[in-house]
Chain A
């Protein structure tokens, strides 16, 4: 009964647990006087019809055996090599010993990482990335943004002025206190519609401590077109914060806020949850661009409208990475940089 024979042979193949034992099984069935070999030998005494049918049966038996044999053989060979390899000791807790290791692993500054991430998120939403000069004029930094010379907001944004002769139109040179001057420059250059973000370094005349620095980074966003309103600002901000923090149920609230270059002016808070604690965190200042600002940029406020928003990139980086002291960001201490 070739069927039973195959069954029996396959069982023995599976039972063989070394290549030597497997070899013995092969000899038993396929060897010179193996059981399958013996069966083949009986063929010659049969009639042609019987020879054909029997012959096919034995052939199937043979193929079945050979396939099972070589599968098992490959398996056992690998198992034997592995067993040998496993016997060798190897210490995976060890690190490469390399005296110049410190020269090989570079790091990207957390502010650059953060900026790039934010740029990417907004680029995916169709925003163009723009920038502008860090040394600005009073005109671009204040007047054009609806902050006339005696406006209290000029105190709010304490300013570094440069020792430089005054220009009739532009007033004094200063270090920009926000990225908003680029709004005007972009409107002047490209007109409307406009959909841009402006990341950049800004400066405030402010003594340095753990939460304040004279230099920090902001990101400004601007969307000008026909029929743009607060509903879309809400939509874009929700989308951005969800993607940025990787959470789908970011809770935000809009509340009235005052910035001279927008009307209505809005402060956007985000509900910041850590464990059981939650509190509203001021994250974004925003609003509908003030008609005076559109005019300064050469746009017609009756035709175009839009919103602007701004937030502290430095602050976002501190929130996201849990950096507790702003001074680390300009310390360039390798013990800090190496963590990024």
Chain B
């Protein structure tokens, strides 16, 4: 919202030497955020009023003429191409250094002395559009009606010597009283220690006069107050300069004196107003809910269909306006209007806001009504409007009594306010006297405590702050704190006992997992959205069952909440294949599953994948397995059982899948698998090898951990021997290793596979395995004689498995 300083000056004294930077800061920290201070005169720098003294032809151009123009301090020769110049004309002159736009288009350029077709020219006589105003006539701006001496700054002559305070609307959400210049002036008076000047109102209503347009408020719940008055003898004409300037400087369009007057009072007091052409009202006014399907053509000519939630102003036959939102075209003010009926009302904020949203119409009126305006303000606004209209139309007369239909009871709000508590909350001692001084500046009434020891004051809230802003003690704490000055509150650190905060072990372990995966194991952490599309989940082999759906999704890509982290990770992988062939990804995040209760099952999960190029000989499955084993070691989690997966993931290759199961809950806490080729193809991952893991962190975290215990380093040397054997290709190595260890569980300390081979020199359907076996005793050095029988036993056990020993 733009507040004009010239306008404010009518209500509060503003120091002409005000430093606007400081002012901006002050208003921001006391009241509401100033987005920008706009100095309107800045764009009129180096522009003055000039008077054309003589005009002569240009020797070299038919369309150009050479003027001698008086600009106060001197007379300049200026070449001009406009046809509407004449001697003695008052014009706008851009002097050297001014910024203008040629023909109102393109970039701003700086005026410099120059030669036009060989004739010297020192400035420019401007058209309105060339200095950023609206062209009203062809050619240059004729300012002969303005009685300003040559040399007067143009900003002053055009009343553009104004400063605008642009307030961030968002910071006025809870302040209906600040939606007009007068309210803002009150606030500024309070923070700059000035007095607020009173307004003048029309007061001589004759309540004996008839009601010309009878009003019936039918939907009382949506309209706490509705006032009207009828004025006749109106002459609709362009607004006088002061009114035009006030509206235009604040970014509003001037339309005619009557409409402008209603807008002026809205921008002054914050209560929207409306003027109807009395002759266009059939019968009386009904404030009622619209009928289903009822239509109205709004002021800007748009057809809107209404429903029963929307409050309208109607006459006996048709809707006239959408209450608090927009007027109708039909009953608006026209150039021939001579009788007007003015409306000042208070509408229900919630219903106004909802109707506005539903109809897609957001107006200055809506912005104000939805903030919950003071119902007392409506009457002041009407009295003020009548005063201004009568000033604008001296022949007009109030021809009706003032109708005031109200459905509210005003009761001043009193708050008992304990300053001891307030002082504690602010962090500064606030005495009753200080509280009184601060609050009275904002028109609160304060009764000081009767006794010296009491810190409880009684505060009466002014009606314009009472609708929703100030309800209880804490609202007053804010008033005092901000007027006292937040910057004056000393910063202090809380005194905290030595009991430290309880650790969040779950969070700590999550961060540790990141360290291990990223810093130790070479994985990259990804962060994906919590949602995916139906297509994505189906591509991943999941079914829609169990998914939570978003009712008002933004895009078709984001309709379902994820039950698994993998689908989005697979998508990320696929995207990265454009630039990289191999990488390892993981993500830690929530998954959400619909279960038979109101709140879904929301769990923390870790998922990852290893993407290898087809050229790479490694099996991604085994990299994933090694990764998990390393994580389990770091997590000191030894209790999970590794084995084939019984609750196989729908994403898994049916053969290449395994899980780590919690013995007690029988839950597969971790699953690892190669990605199913069909799913890989769905995600465009069929040109590489992908293996995945999922880890249910919510279930894993509480599992008991093994303590880290030192085992003594053997004092006696170990002996190693190698063994190589050929066995059926489809036998699992685990059985093979078990058979080796069984040979002597006491002496065999370690069994390491160091070669696995299939191919040349090995019969079809067979594989060759080579192991290094380490024997060690804790109490002696082993002799060859002790090793020999173990070796024999190993051979025998392996042969028992059908192996052929090669050495």
Q: A232-B493, A332-B575 are in contact. Are A227 and B424 (CB under 8 A)?
A: yes
User: Which B residues are closer than 8 A to A by beta carbons?
Assistant: 28-33, 170-171, 173-174, 350, 353-354, 357, 370, 421, 424-428, 472, 474-475, 477-478, 481-482, 486-487, 489-494, 496, 500-502, 504, 507, 511, 514-515, 517-530, 548-554, 558, 561, 572, 575-576, 579-585, 588-590, 592, 594, 598-600, 602, 616
Residues of A within 8 A of B580 (CB): 102, 334
Bound form: Cα–Cα A156–B173 in Å: 10
A160-B551, A160-B552 given; 15 more Cβ-contact pairs under 8 Å: A105-B522, A135-B592, A135-B600, A164-B594, A206-B554, A229-B424, A229-B427, A230-B425, A232-B492, A235-B493, A254-B29, A256-B486, A257-B171, A258-B174, A332-B575
Contacts A103-B584, A232-B427 given: A254-B486 contact, CB under 8 Å?
yes
| 8 Å CB contact of A264 from B31, B482, B522 | B482
Which chain A residues lie closer than 8 Å to B575 at the CB level? 331-333
Whether, in the assembled complex, A312 has its beta carbon less than 8 Å from a beta carbon of chain B, the answer is no
Chain A residues with Cβ under 8 A from B171's Cβ?
Answer: 256-258, 267
A-B contacts, 26 listed (Cβ < 8 Å): A100-B616, A108-B519, A128-B504, A135-B561, A137-B598, A150-B350, A152-B173, A163-B549, A164-B594, A173-B598, A173-B599, A230-B426, A230-B486, A231-B426, A231-B428, A234-B491, A236-B494, A238-B491, A255-B30, A263-B477, A264-B474, A266-B486, A305-B421, A334-B576, A334-B579, A334-B580
Q: How far is the CA of A256 from the CA of B24 in the complex (A)?
A: 14
From A152, A160, A257, A335, contact of B579 by CB (8 A): A335
CB neighbours (8 Å) of A265 from chain B are 478
By a CB distance below 8 angstroms, the chain B residues around A201 are 530, 589-590
Interface centre among B517, B524, B584 (most CB of A within 10 A): B524
Residue from B494, B551, B584 within 8 A of A163 (CB atoms): B551
Task: Tell me, yes or no, whether A315 is within 8 Å of chain B by CB.
Answer: no
Q: How far is the CB of B145 from chain A (nearest CB, A)?
A: 44
* Chain A 103-124 near chain B by CB (<8 Å), digits 1 or 0: 1111111011000100100010
Chain A positions 302 through 339: 1 when the CB is less than 8 Å from some CB of chain B, otherwise 0: 00010000000000000000000000011111110110
Across the interface, do B525 and A107 meet the contact criterion of CB distance under 8 Å? yes
Q: How far is the CA of A203 from the CA of B590 in the complex (A)?
A: 13
Cα A155 to Cα B371 in complex, Å, equals: 13
Chain A residues with CB below 8 A from B561, complex form: 135, 162
Q: Using Cβ atoms and an 8 Å threshold, which residues of chain B touch A129?
A: 501, 504, 507
Selected from A112, A133, A223, A230, the residue in CB contact (under 8 A) with B599 is A133
**Cβ–Cβ contact B527 & A223, under 8 A:** no
Chain B residues contacting A208 (CB-CB under 8 Å) are 554
A248-285 interface code vs B (CB 8 A; 1 in, 0 out): 00000111111000011111000000000000000000
Going nearest first, the 6 A-B pairs with the smallest beta carbon separation are A231-B427, A264-B478, A106-B518, A254-B486, A332-B572, A234-B491
Q: Is the CB of B481 within 8 A of A107?
A: no
Count of A-B residue pairs with CB < 8 Å: 234
Per-position 1/0 for A146-183, Cβ under 8 A of B: 00001011011000111110010010010100000000
Choose one: B500, B527, B558, B581; the contact of A111 (CB below 8 Å).
B527
Does the CB pair A128–B502 fall under 8 Å? yes
For the residues of A in contact with B, the DSSP-based class is mixed
A102 to B613, CA, bound (A): 12
Distance, CA A158 to CA B514, complexed state (A):
33
- Shortest CB-to-CB span from B242 to chain A, Å, is 33
A235 to B492, Cβ gap below 8 A?
yes
Contact in complex: B486, A255 (CB < 8 Å):
yes
Question: Which of the listed residues A111, A156, A227, A256 has the most CB atoms from chain B within 10 Å of its own CB?
Answer: A256
Chain A contacts for B592, CB-based, 8 A: 134-135
B370: chain A residues within 8 A (beta carbon): 152
How big is the A interface, by class? 35 or more
Contact A230-B598, Cβ < 8 Å, known A160-B550, A338-B524: no
Q: How far is the CA of A265 from the CA of B518 in the complex (A)?
A: 41
- Closest beta carbon of chain B to A98's beta carbon, Å: 12
Tell me how far the C-beta of A47 lies from the nearest C-beta in chain B, rounded to whole angstroms.
62
- Verify if A210 is at the interface (C-beta below 8 Å from B): no
Q: How far is the CB of A301 from chain B (nearest CB, A)?
A: 9
Bound complex: CA A223 to CA B495 (Å): 12
Min Cβ gap B643→A in Å is 27
Asked if A130 CB lies within 8 Å of chain B CBs, one says yes
Cβ contact within 8 Å between B527 and A228: no
**Residue in A106, A254, A335 with the greatest tally of chain B CB atoms within 10 Å:** A106
Q: A195 at the A/B interface (Cβ < 8 Å)?
A: yes
A121 CB, nearest partner CB in chain B, Å: 13
Hey, what's the 0/1 contact readout for A203-246 against B, CB within 8 Å counting as 1?
10111100000110000000101011111101110110000000
- Known: A102-B580, A229-B425, A236-B494. Is A173-B552 also a contact (CB below 8 A)? no
Q: Which residues of A contact B602 (CB under 8 A)?
A: 133-135
Q: Taking the complex as formed, is A126 at the interface, i.e. its CB lies under 8 A from any CB of chain B?
A: yes
Is the CB–CB distance between B550 and A330 below 8 Å?
no
Is A72 part of the binding interface, using a Cβ–Cβ cutoff of 8 Å? no
Q: In the complex, what's the smallest C-beta–C-beta distance from A124 to chain B, in angstroms?
A: 10
A330: contacting residue among B421, B528, B598, CB under 8 A: B528
Are B501 and A126 in touch, CB under 8 angstroms? yes
Is A231 a contact partner of B489 (Cβ separation < 8 A)?
yes
B519 contacts which chain A residues (CB < 8 A)? Answer: 106, 108
Point out the residues of chain B lying under 8 angstroms from A150, CB to CB: 350, 353-354
Residue of B with least CB distance to A239: B493
Docked-complex contact B501 and A128, CB < 8 angstroms:
yes
Alpha-carbon distance A102/B522, docked complex (angstroms): 8
Q: Is there an interface contact between A288 and B598, defined as CB atoms closer than 8 Å?
A: no
| Nearest residue, chain B, Cβ from A190 | B502
Closest to B592 in A: A135
Establish whether residues A267 and B33, one from each chain, have CB atoms under 8 Å apart when the complex forms.
yes
| From B353, B490, B576, contact of A332 by CB (8 A) | B576
B496 lies within 8 A of A126 (CB): yes
Is A291 in contact with chain B by the CB < 8 A criterion? yes
Instruction: Take A102-B583, A127-B501 as given contacts and tell me if A112 and B514 are in contact as well, using a CB distance cutoff of 8 Å.
Output: yes
Residues of B within 8 A of A267 (CB): 33, 171
Task: Report the bound CA distance from A134 to B370 in whole Å.
Answer: 31
Residues in A with CB closer than 8 Å to B474 are: 263-264, 288, 290-291
- A254 near B558 (CB under 8 angstroms)? no
| Distance (whole angstroms) from the CB of B140 to the closest CB of chain A | 40
B552 near A337: Cβ-Cβ < 8 Å: no
Using A108-B514, A130-B504 as known contacts, say yes or no to A103 and B357 having CB atoms under 8 A apart.
Answer: no
Contacting pair B529 A167 (CB below 8 A): no
- Asked whether A215 lies within 8 Å of B529 as measured between CB atoms, the reply is yes
**Is residue A12 contacting chain B, with contact meaning CB distance below 8 A?**
no
Q: Which of B501, B523, B572, B579 has the most CB of A within 10 A?
A: B501
Q: Judge whether B478 and A109 touch: CB under 8 Å.
A: no
Which among B428, B554, B585 has the highest number of chain A CB atoms within 10 Å?
B554
Interface residue? A131 (CB, 8 A): yes
CB-based nearest B residue for A203: B530
**CB <8 Å contact, B530 and A231:** no
B482, B496, B522: the one within 8 Å of A103 (CB): B522
The CA-CA distance from A45 to B491 in the complex, in Å, is: 90
Q: Which residues of A contact B548 (CB under 8 A)?
A: 135, 162-164, 173
